[in-house]
Structure formats: structure tokens, C-alpha cells
Amino acid sequence: MRSLLVLCVLVGCGSGDGDDCDAGGDATTIDLHTTAVLGDILDARDRDPVAVALQDGGPACPWRTLGGNGSGRYQLAVHGTRYAVAVTCPDSLTVLARSLDDGGELTASCFGEAEGTPHELRAHTTASLEPYVIGAFLGASSTLKQGVLNTAIGFLWHAFDGEYDLVALGHRGDQDLEAPDDVRVVRDLRAADAFDIDVTPTASSDWLALGPPVLVTAGRNTIASLRYRTTHGTFVDLGTAVATVAPVTVSAPTLPAAARAAGEIYEQAIYVDDFSAGKSFSVTRETVEPTAFDMALPAVFDVTLDRTTFAFAPLADATHYEVGCVAIGSTFTSNVSVGWLRDGGTYELPSIPGVRYPDDCRWGATALGRTPPSDVWRSSTGVRGP
């Protein structure tokens, strides 16, 4: 992949007031990770970025290029009360603007072609005299749910490192291949170890009956889903309702208590797409036990762009705002915390020597927030002209 030719940085308009550029004195150390946590992602290998730059202080402060050691970790010495980091990858740029109150860790992964030989993580089914349906989940990957009769099917993943949980949903005993009714969970599988697990549904202690179902309802132009997340980040899709012109309700199973582990949660999600207005909304609830799908959708997020200035009304409960675009094969994303913005609603792309903004960018904007106790939401829109 070719190197990124255009740098794009979002900063606050008129926010030079109170900037404390490289103020000296004691510094706060911020950890920047440019590789994802091992075990989170399969079939990919993160790589060190092309360049990392730090702006110590507010948006009127200069940018300083940082050297890396190839480890994917940068320790940033920040003297100002707010700062920004620009991470340039071969085909993307991510800008993170934060205040010291936002915490001391940042992640901006660079994804590239896999390097080296991955370990193979295998699961398989064996020939059966009974028909059954099987779906398997590992990390963020899943197999297609398949009906099987008197045959063998193998499932294969690849991983470089980390630990994983394998979850299989199955159905035995009759011709009903629509819905699984049993579950098997195999935990703490190390990618460095060779394993090949038989996930054929059987009447054994390895397989447990799924728990009582819950109803998942999607309104018009809505997708609603229920899934389970294990300790090592395996996402198990339990049921999805997709509605266009009329509401749709599906029944989704749950996991029995004996198949669960401490700290594991359900994720209830609602996604709404307003095609005519070019806006979308989503809200996710993390919960120990599924509840009614009564999550409130966020407010509409409207943003205008006048040359290089973004303007909008801040939304209640928002924690971050993000603008981004794709141009000439590269992705540009700028994510700014509310603490860095200081309650402002106007942002300007600054004039920086050597920086050229792409003329063909179609900007989109998203407000991200958290509503107590556990609802996380997004409100997205295309950016309009003045």
C-alpha cells in the first residue's frame, strides 16, 4: 500500500485562548497503543504506523513528530492540560484529541497485511445419523449457520497470539434445523497451541440446553440484535430482527448459567437508518441479563461545514465527537473528546505547513455518548454546507 499523501487534522476553532503549549514542568505520561490487544482480532496483524505526531497543549500549539521503536507503543510526555495525537498509517490517518481528565491510554490501530505464519484454530463436526444445525463463534468471527446430515464440515480460523473462547450453538434430534437449542463453550484456547475441537452437538455434559428466549423487536427501518460477549471477546449472535416497512419480532435464546463466566455480558443493540434524511442512530446496552429493548435513541446530530469550519449544537450525554471522510483511497478520522473541546460547538481544520486537505472529501460526522447506567449511543449524519 502506498504511503498516505494527505494529512488531515481537526482542531477547535478559536480555541487558542488558554492553550498551554509544552508548558514545561512535570509531564503526564500518556500511553498510545498502535496495535490492538492480542486476541481481539483474527486474521489480521497490526503494524507500526508510518508516523506519529503530538500536539502538546491546545489547537494553537505546534505539532512534533515522534520516533517509534516498532513495538506499537508510544509513551507521550504531555505538559498541557489537553493534547492531540495524529497517527498516520499506510492508508489512513487517525487524530485523537483529549484532555488529561480523559485518562492515560489511547488506541489507534494500523491494520495491514498479515505477516508471518499464523497459528490455526480449528473446530470440526463429524458424520451424524441425526440432522443438526451448527454455528460456531470465535473472537469477532463466526461461521454461517448450517444444516448438516451425514457429513463432516470443518471450521478454520487463524490467529497470531492471544487467548480465545470458542462457542458453538447446535440442534439435535429431529428435522427442525431453524433454531439451535444447545450450546457448548470451550474457554482459554491459546493461539500458540494446536487444537481441533469436535463441535458436533451431542447428548453429553459438554453440551447444555440454551436458556429461556427473549423477544427482540425492531421497528420500521430498524435492526435490533442480541448477542453475548465472552471473557476473551468472542461475540455470539443470538438473534437479529430486521424490519423495513413494518415492525418485526424474533425470539432469541439466552445462555444457561452453567455456560457463563464471571464478567461476561449480553449486548442489546438497536440501529436505525433514516435513508431520506441521511442520518443513522444506534444504541447499545451492556447488561448481565437481557432486559426489554427500551433504549432511547439519541438526538439528531446536525453538522454544517463552511470551507474548513465545522459547526454543530453539542448533544446531552455526548462524550466524543468525530468527523471523517474517505478520499483518494485513504480514510481520515478525527475523534475529539468533550473535555478537549471545552463545551465548544465549532471546529476548524487548521492551516499547517505541508498539509493539504482533499477536495473530494465527503464528510460525515458522529456524536458518541453514554447514558447512565449502561447505554452507549451514536448519532451520525452527513455534513451539510452552510
Q: What is the pLDDT of residues 351-383, one digit of tens each?
A: 554 556 677 788 899 999 999 999 999 999 999
pLDDT at 336: 94
Residue type, 327: A
Architecture of domain 211-287: Sandwich (2.60)
Average of per-residue pLDDT values in the chain: 84
**Confidence class of residue 152 from pLDDT cuts 50, 70 and 90?**
low
Of residues 132 and 291, which shows the higher confidence score? 291
**In the predicted model, what is the mean pLDDT of residues 141-149?**
75
130 exposed, middle or buried (CB, 10 Å; 0-12, 13-18, 19+)?
middle
pLDDT at 9: 39
**Confidence class of residue 8 from pLDDT cuts 50, 70 and 90?**
very low
pLDDT at 11: 41
pLDDT at 160 over 60: yes
Task: Give, in degrees to the nearest 5, the angle at Cα 32 between 313 and 81.
Answer: 55
Cβ-proximal residues to 16 (8 Å cutoff; 6+ apart), any chain: 58, 59, 60
Whether cis (ω within 30° of 0) applies to the bond prior to 373 is yes
pLDDT at 124: 86
Walk across the sheet containing 92-99 and list its strands: 63-66, 51-56, 82-89, 92-99, 330-337, 318-327, 364-371, 375-382, 279-287, 265-274, 222-229, 235-243
The x, y and z cell numbers of residue 277, run together, are: 434524511
Question: Distance (Å, rounded) from C-alpha 386 to C-alpha 372?
Answer: 34
Q: What is the DSSP string of 72-113?
A: SEEEEEE-SSEEEEEEEETTEEEEEEEEGGG-SEEE-PPEE-
CB-CB contact of 357 with 319 (8 Å): no
**In the predicted model, what is the mean pLDDT of residues 20-27?**
76
For residue 19, the tally of other CB atoms under 10 A from its CB is 18
**Confidence class of residue 12 from pLDDT cuts 50, 70 and 90?**
very low
Give Cα 382 distance to the centre of its chain: 20
Task: Give, in degrees to the nearest 5, the angle at Cα 119 between 31 and 69.
Answer: 30
Beta bridge partners of 133: 147, 171
pLDDT at 77 over 70: yes
**In the predicted model, what is the mean pLDDT of residues 274-286?**
90
pLDDT at 176: 63
Question: Distance (Å, rounded) from C-alpha 346 to C-alpha 365?
Answer: 13
Nearest by Cα to 267 from 250, 286, 239, 249: 286
pLDDT at 38: 52
CB-CB contact of 310 with 346 (8 Å): yes
% the chain with pLDDT above 90? 44
Element (H, E) at 338: helix 338-341
Of residues 64 and 4, which shows the higher confidence score? 64
Sequence ranges of the domains in the chain: 11-114+299-382, 119-209, 211-287
Q: What is the pLDDT of residues 84-110, one digit of tens each?
A: 998 888 888 889 999 999 988 998 888
The x, y and z cell numbers of residue 138, run together, are: 470465535
Question: Distance (Å, rounded) from C-alpha 334 to C-alpha 9?
Answer: 7
pTM: 0.85
Q: Which of 67-71, 212-216, 231-235 has the lowest mean pLDDT?
A: 67-71
The winner for highest mean pLDDT among 9-23, 138-152, 187-201 is: 187-201
**Confidence class of residue 45 from pLDDT cuts 50, 70 and 90?**
low
pLDDT at 16: 45
pLDDT at 65 over 80: yes
Backbone angles phi, psi at 119, to 5 degrees: -85, 145
Question: Distance (Å, rounded) from C-alpha 19 to C-alpha 16?
Answer: 5
The x, y and z cell numbers of residue 303, run together, are: 453538522
pLDDT at 290 over 60: yes
